[in-house]
A and B are shown apart, each in its own frame.
Chain A
């Protein structure tokens, strides 16, 4: 099965789970590899063992290391990058969004919405204000058009990659 990891700058990792061997009800062996430019790289074996409610991982089934238990995270951390995780499919439209679709680039709070559905807007017009990290970010229209839909309201606290508004 393939997992797609996509970070905020649209960098994409394609990771394939190529083999699963169940050794016992407490021990599984996996094989993962990364696909880059149609080339298969970084193939590694990972063993997972459950011990007293916690998961432990190993590359050789000899030396074990405790892992943080996560249920289906939608985010995956790598030092200074947080990837969105998609299992089995690549989301369509999310990162190749149409020009008029406004997604949150970082989590924040909608402090003001300047337009409503049906309003005529022009390029550069401030559509709404998203407060993130104690800064007010003016979200501007990238095209001339009409507000097709407003999916959020003032005061909403949003995560990354949430569709806020559509202009066409």
Chain B
């Protein structure tokens, strides 16, 4: 094939496998990497060529641009797919690839740079008339000024440290009195925690929903959306369950159109030319505000693929190579049914903290309509060096209730032995009343505390069954 390219996948785990499959399907050569720590890298499974990336820490390997360029040169690589995480949103990496005439399977460098900077992306959004969370543009020095801005944008407001993040250095205020009480407290806390006491005033979105829109654009100026996903079920600001379409938007097609068109507008403002996601926060009143744009493929992309039938990874590669996407118009893109994804992580189901270990057994029995993107196998060592996510369990049904029913059944059929996983937690969440009603905000885990409903008692019968299997095996049965 004359247009066959050699594509380096500079990632690991399930996404490396997913990308390798797409490369294979398109007739390209998939080149995978493994590091000193990954002697049994299952993610190489669908790759044609396996290249050793020397080193063991991420800084020496998956994040080491010089080392990666050595691999690119030695293996005559044409294009690089970064996956998610690692260098997927590194402006430096994208720029260097472009300088060396290597195709970056992602958007152009300027889009990575602009959307990677919170302040710049907010400015671009504002200029394109896209709603951003109302608030002060810069640090507020006094209580009086904070009160003035709060009056303009309306209560409740959030006092927020300029340097804060991850939910720290923030305080909600519902009236002037609370601002007076809290201002200095948050200032002091922020100086202590971040070495910077500057505060911002921002409108507080009550019971927020995290809703994002999948974008796909090509180099010819076509930009399409593939509807929205709702990712409000989060722990420590990381998503664990996502669904498409959003149950909160529900049948409100006008709102759906509005948020999707807004995402397209922002993408066009930066001449976006790849797969990407525009994230919004939506309040109870259904007003939504731009949060950020992720200029990469996202973990939760499969649920969009399931309801629209598109192959986002294939299209992303085609877009990067300047090929036709084969999409005649936006209207041509339709959705049907409902898809849900549970992220399966090697973590304690109660504390939700990573828990590395070795998989001693793995078996699956799934109902129709299930997809499992993973890299699990018996003897897999989940090391503390990488993200604890080992797979993504996705179910699809014509209705949301059917997708949930299938998920409940699929979770029961997913057996991972030898190390802790969050499967028991997922089993509780998919039976939770608020989840079943599709009415939940990003505070779901904090409010509902599903982890407290996980039954942690010793299940003797289950242990006996496992021991019996081992015994039977020893006996040669």
Contacts and interface: CB of A to CB of B under 8 A. Distances in A.
A73 B360 contact: yes
Query: Helix, strand, loop or mixed for chain A's interface?
Result: strand
Interface string A1-19: 0010100000001010100
B419 A75 contact: yes
A67 B473 contact: no
Interface residues of A, number: 53
A122 interface: no
Interface stretch (B62-70, B159-167, B289-297, B463-471): B463-471
Q: Interface size bucket, B side?
A: 35 or more
B471 to A, nearest CB: 6
B130 interface: no
Contacts of B354: 133
Interface stretch (B21-29, B71-79, B450-458): B450-458
B384 A72 contact: no
Interface string A68-110: 1111111111111110000000000000000000000011110
A15 B467 contact: yes
B477 A67 contact: no
A121 B456 CA distance: 41
B475 A34 contact: no
Contacts of A65: 465
A55 B473 contact: yes
Contact of B458 (A13, A20, A55): A13
A80 B385 CA distance: 21
A82 B419 contact: yes
B469 A70 contact: yes
Interface stretch (A25-33, A112-120, A139-147): A25-33
A15 B460 CA distance: 9
Nearest to A31: B464
A133 B353 contact: yes
B384 A17 contact: no
B477 A79 contact: no
Contacts of B468: 28, 30, 32, 46, 48, 57
A28 B467 CA distance: 13
B133 to A, nearest CB: 31
Contact of A131 (B384, B463, B467, B472): B384
Interface stretch (B90-98, B103-111, B194-202, B361-369): B361-369
Interface stretch (B185-193, B263-271, B321-329, B410-418): B410-418
Contact of A73 (B350, B361, B459): B361
A79 B459 contact: yes
A79 B424 CA distance: 7
B122 interface: no
A34 B464 CA distance: 10
B471 A77 contact: no
Contact of B363 (A3, A69, A71): A69
A108 B384 CA distance: 7
A79 B454 contact: yes
A30 B477 contact: no
A77 B472 contact: no
Contact of A67 (B37, B363, B454): B363
Contact of B463 (A13, A27, A80): A13
Contacts of A69: 361, 363, 378, 469, 473
B46 to A, nearest CB: 24
B474 interface: yes
A57 to B, nearest CB: 4
17 contacts: A17-B467, A46-B465, A54-B363, A68-B416, A69-B378, A72-B470, A75-B358, A75-B417, A76-B466, A77-B417, A77-B420, A78-B459, A78-B462, A80-B454, A107-B357, A133-B384, A157-B37
Interface of A: 3, 5, 13, 15, 17, 20, 22, 25-28, 30, 32, 34, 42, 44, 46, 48, 50, 54-55, 57, 59, 65-82, 106-109, 131-134, 155, 157, 159-160
Q: Which 7 A-B pairs have the closest CB atoms?
A: A68-B361, A73-B360, A70-B361, A68-B363, A68-B415, A57-B465, A32-B464
Given A22-B475, A73-B360, A78-B458, 13 more contacts: A42-B460, A44-B461, A48-B471, A54-B363, A66-B363, A68-B363, A70-B417, A73-B418, A73-B470, A79-B424, A80-B420, A107-B357, A159-B357
